[in-house]
Amino acid sequence: MGLLDWLTKRNRGDTTAVLTFNKDEEELAGLNLKQVLDAHMAWWVRLEAVLNGTSKERLEVAQISPDNMCVLGKWLYGPGKVSLGTTPQYEVLRNTHLTFHQMAGKILADFNRGDKSGAERLLNRDFRRLSDRIQLELVRLYAAKK
């Protein structure tokens, strides 16, 4: 199943559909979709490791909260904006991505403040939904370009 089949299933409410890429679907206006989606999905694992005390990384709120420092963020405010910035799907993705990074920062800030249970709730509920939403909105943007 390729991106567009996955999107069709998700739009019909099938949350069990697995996102896979056909070889010709990995790129969107200079952005490698698979790499970007994998990187954003890995944030959940990275934050969970911090909360569990098993992380070897030193994450800083000021580094993860901005939405323009990762590959997707740089693309959204650069080539993606030039190529697709006038589409409604672009703006939805940009806003979702912004909220994703703000939530990552809030989770880390809550944990650093000693509110581990609050950070875990945000990670497992809101952050997971935002991660899924980035997938969905990025594929919707891909579909809008087709």
Give residue-wise pLDDT tens across range 68-109: 999 999 999 999 999 999 999 999 999 999 999 999 999 999
Per DSSP, 19 falls in state P
The residue to which tokens 């056909």 are assigned = 22
The verdict on pTM exceeding 0.85 is yes
What are the extents of the domains in the chain?
A: 3-145
The contacts of residue 64 (CB under 8 Å, 6+ apart) are 43, 101, 104, 105, 108
For 30-54, write each residue's pLDDT tens digit.
Answer: 999 889 988 888 999 999 999 999 9
Please tell me the class of the 3-145 domain: mainly alpha
